[in-house]
Structure 1
């Protein structure tokens, strides 16, 4: 039965039943920051190992900005194993709209023809979703990287790309436990890369 105005105003609102516990399972979905690496002097690659990528999460999101030391290079990645060694072999199936083709290679491609202008210093900016569904048998899903980029190419023109590549589980059953970003030649002169885990709640 609804309370009248007089009844509602006479209720004692003392905090008799104060809650002192914790609530679990509510609002826990979202991005969990794991690590940010900044490059201010030339390095060959940037690695995130199994202290960040492991069986705790299946999905990760990476936000990156990188400037190459040399002009007209491609941005690649390789998955790493539990010892932080490259997972190689022509087992990466890849596609990107900047070349409009598919291929097998010993690395995944994020973008090509990136400029290294000392004037713009734009390089490439990318967002990538990384899926690591714990490869262990041919019954599992492939580990995959999907994303998009904005870049200044080697002719100093702005370009955008979408890309997808996967580690073929019919060829490699090693569980990826890390990732390495590097250019096809030369060093990385500048970079700021952040890795987040995606919590499913």
Structure 2
């Protein structure tokens, strides 16, 4: 097995090879940590940098995100947009996204972000059916992943990217006896693997990240 155990020392080294958080990102990390246990839903900094880089590589002008939380990943995606681009992000919490709005404003990207409050499945179904999305990112309720996936794949342009977070679910998704959210993730992973509309890879990055490209 050509893998490396991520010890605290190795993780510190990984972070040292990544551009550090901006002052706005540092403040957003601190505000999110102050929420207590929900803070675990924030993507780690290196994953945010990865999202920014992917958006830039894709030349993304139209990004859709399902699951905003306090807006760290949204901020990362907005920073990777091509000129004139926009991130549409979906969430159900006014409280958490209020923190996000303040961060986006402070970072100067608020005009690139369209926040939709309400059930994400309804928001996605209301989008135009044309394949015009360049990149999509799923990081919301695990039981809804398959629904979100099936709404987004037809709307991705050929060559567009779709990412799904937490696809290892702390390793529990790998267990045949998985239950609850872990089972939902396991079934979602099987659905992605069998989807002939895309080519995909599951990366052991953070809590697991699926990267798919529409054919």
Normalized per residue, the structure richer in helix is: 2
Q: Which structure: greater strand fraction?
A: 1
TM-score normalised by length of structure 2: 0.23
Q: Which of structures 1 and 2 has the bigger CA Rg?
A: 1
Greater RCO (CA < 8 Å, at least 6 residues apart): 1
Q: TM-score under structure 1 normalisation?
A: 0.24
